[in-house]
Structure 1
Amino acid sequence: MRGRLPPTIRQLLSPQYPTANLKIEVNGWVKSVRRQKNVAFAVISDGSSREGLQAVLTDRTMASKLVNGASVRLLGQLSRSPGPAQEKELQVTEVEVLGECDPDLYPIQKQNLTPDYLREHCELRARVNDMGAMLRVRDILTKAIHSYFEGQSFHCVHTPIITSNDCEGAGEAFALTPIPSSSPPVDAEPATRHFFSVPAYLTVSSQLHLEAVATSLSRVYTLSPAFRAERSQTNRHLAEFWMLEAEWQFTRSLDDICGLVEDMTKTILGAAKDDNDVHDFMGKTEGRQFIDAIDRSWSKVTYTEAVRELEKHHTSTTGSKFTFQPAWGRPLQSEHERWLADHAFRGPVFVTDYPAILKPFYMRSNEDSSNPNLCTVACFDLLIPGRGELAGGSLREERLPVLDRALEKNGLSGENYGWYRNIRKFGGAPHGGFGMGFERLLSYVTGIENVRECIAAPRWAGRILL
Structure 2
Amino acid sequence: MKRSSVKELLHSDKFLQEVHVKGWVRTFRSNRFIALNDGSTINNIQCVVDFENTDEELLKRITTSAAVSITGTLVESEGKGQSVEVKVTKLEILGDSNPDEYPIQPKKHSLEFLRENAHLRIRTNTFSAVMRVRSTLSFAVHKYFQENGFNYVNTPIITGSDAEGAGEMFHVTNFEANKAPLNEEGNIDYSQDFFGKETNLTVSGQLEAETYAMALGKVYTFGPTFRAENSNTTRHLAEFWMIEPEVAFNDLDANMDLSEDFIKSVLGYVLENCKDDLTFLENRLIQEEKTKPQAERSEMSLINKLNFVVDNNFKRVSYTEAFDILRNCKPNKKKKFQFPINEWGVDLQSEHERYLVEKHFKCPVILFDYPATIKAFYMRLNDDGKTVRAMDVLFPGIGEMVGGSQREERLDVLKSKMAELNIDEEELWWYLDTRKFGTAVHSGFGLGFERLVLFTTGMGNIRDVIPFPRTPQNAEF
TM over 0.5: yes
Partner of 2:151: 155
Unaligned runs of 5+ in 2: 178-188, 286-300
Q: Once the 2 structures are TM-superposed, how far is the Cα of residue 344 of structure 1 from its aligned partner?
A: 2.2
Q: Is the 8 A contact 2:339 2:349 kept in 1?
A: no
Q: Is the 8 A contact 2:326 2:332 kept in 1?
A: no
Q: Is the 8 A contact 1:324 1:333 kept in 2?
A: no
Deviation per residue, 1:35-79 (Å, 9 max, x gap)? 25xxx0101111111001111111343433100011111222222
Partner of 1:176: 172
In 2: Cα distance, 1:328 partner to 1:109 partner: 54
Partner of 2:130: 134
Query: How does the TM-score come out when normalised to structure 2?
Result: 0.89
Q: Is the 8 A contact 1:326 1:332 kept in 2?
A: no
Structure 2 residue corresponding to 1:405, chosen from 401, 411, 416: 416
Unaligned runs of 5+ in 1: 182-189, 370-374
Deviation per residue, 1:397-423 (Å, 9 max, x gap)? 111111111111111111110110111
With over 3 angstroms needed to count, the CA separation of the structure-2 counterparts of 1:327 and 1:319, relative to structure 1, is closer
Q: Does the residue aligned with 2:431 lie in a helix, a strand or coil?
A: helix
- Quote the RMSD (CA, aligned, Å): 2.0
Q: Once the 2 structures are TM-superposed, how far is the Cα of residue 326 of structure 1 from its aligned partner?
A: 4.4
Q: Is the 8 A contact 1:307 1:328 kept in 2?
A: yes
Partner of 2:292: none
Q: Does the residue aligned with 1:266 lie in a helix, a strand or coil?
A: helix
Q: Does the residue aligned with 2:63 lie in a helix, a strand or coil?
A: coil
Deviation per residue, 1:76-132 (Å, 9 max, x gap)? 222222223211212212222121111011110111111100011110001110100
Q: Is the 8 A contact 1:224 1:242 kept in 2?
A: yes
Q: Is the 8 A contact 1:382 1:389 kept in 2?
A: yes
Aligned ranges 1:369-388 → 2 under 5 Å: 369=385, 375-388=386-399
Q: Which moved more, 1:197-206 or 1:75-84?
A: 75-84
Whichever residue aligns with residue 264 of structure 2, its letter is: K
Q: Once the 2 structures are TM-superposed, how far is the Cα of residue 325 of structure 1 from its aligned partner?
A: 4.0
Q: Does the residue aligned with 2:338 lie in a helix, a strand or coil?
A: coil
In 2: Cα distance, 1:363 partner to 1:319 partner: 33
Structure 1 residue corresponding to 2:24, chosen from 12, 26, 29: 29
Asked if residue 66 in structure 1 is aligned to residue 62 in structure 2, the reply is yes
Q: Once the 2 structures are TM-superposed, how far is the Cα of residue 282 of structure 1 from its aligned partner?
A: 2.3
With over 3 angstroms needed to count, the CA separation of the structure-2 counterparts of 1:103 and 1:146, relative to structure 1, is same
With over 3 angstroms needed to count, the CA separation of the structure-2 counterparts of 1:263 and 1:18, relative to structure 1, is same
Partner of 1:364: 380
Structure 2 residue corresponding to 1:262, chosen from 254, 260, 263: 260
Query: How does the TM-score come out when normalised to structure 1?
Result: 0.91
Asked if residue 337 in structure 1 is aligned to residue 336 in structure 2, the reply is no
In 1: Cα distance, 2:105 partner to 2:326 partner: 47
Structure 2 residue corresponding to 1:310, chosen from 326, 335, 338: 326
Deviation per residue, 1:237-267 (Å, 9 max, x gap)? 111111111001112x311111111111111
Q: Once the 2 structures are TM-superposed, how far is the Cα of residue 208 of structure 1 from its aligned partner?
A: 0.8
With over 3 angstroms needed to count, the CA separation of the structure-2 counterparts of 1:45 and 1:197, relative to structure 1, is same
Q: Once the 2 structures are TM-superposed, how far is the Cα of residue 21 of structure 1 from its aligned partner?
A: 3.7
In 2: Cα distance, 1:179 partner to 1:73 partner: 51
| Percent of residue pairs bearing the same amino acid type | 40
Deviation per residue, 1:136-155 (Å, 9 max, x gap)? 00111111111111221111
Q: Is the 8 A contact 1:75 1:95 kept in 2?
A: yes
Partner of 1:47: 39
Whichever residue aligns with residue 153 of structure 2, its letter is: V
Asked if residue 347 in structure 1 is aligned to residue 346 in structure 2, the reply is no
Partner of 1:115: 111
Asked if residue 299 in structure 1 is aligned to residue 296 in structure 2, the reply is no
Q: Once the 2 structures are TM-superposed, how far is the Cα of residue 313 of structure 1 from its aligned partner?
A: 2.4
Q: Is the 8 A contact 2:7 2:41 kept in 1?
A: yes
Q: Once the 2 structures are TM-superposed, how far is the Cα of residue 318 of structure 1 from its aligned partner?
A: 2.5
Q: How many residues align?
A: 444
Whichever residue aligns with residue 345 of structure 1, its letter is: F
Asked if residue 12 in structure 1 is aligned to residue 9 in structure 2, the reply is yes
Q: Does the residue aligned with 2:197 lie in a helix, a strand or coil?
A: coil
Partner of 2:244: 245
